[in-house]
Amino acid sequence: MVQVQDVIGIFDASVKRSKLSAKLFDLTDKIFRTPGTEFEDIKSYVLTADRIYASTVSSVTLRKRAYFVEEALLPEFDNTSGV
């Protein structure tokens, strides 16, 4: 599991098809994926400082989960509470 604070970006798997993003993926030695996962099942990529993780979960769902975790961990920074 990747920690939210380690995530640089979450990308839809279709981003790998563009020329610019293909260069980014070429810079990494290895894309980490769960054993048994086929590349055609990959829906998103999670970029950290030292790795790119392949995920079968959509980028939209991963972003929602990351936002949910961030909100749960940092309630004291909620400016809407008026505190």
pLDDT tens across the length of the chain (83 residues): 788 788 888 888 887 666 766 666 666 556 777 677 777 788 888 888 888 888 889 999 988 887 776 666 665 555 555 54
What pLDDT does residue 83 have?
46
Q: Which two tokens stand for residue 12?
A: 């839809």
Q: Give the Cβ contact number of residue 10 at 10 Å.
A: 21
What pLDDT does residue 27 have?
62
What pLDDT does residue 50 have?
83
**What does the alpha-carbon distance between residue 15 and residue 28 come to, in Å, rounded to a whole number?**
15
Q: Which two tokens stand for residue 19?
A: 């020329």
Q: Using alpha carbons, list the distances in angstroms from residue 21 to 7, 12, 15, 45, 75.
A: 17, 11, 6, 11, 35
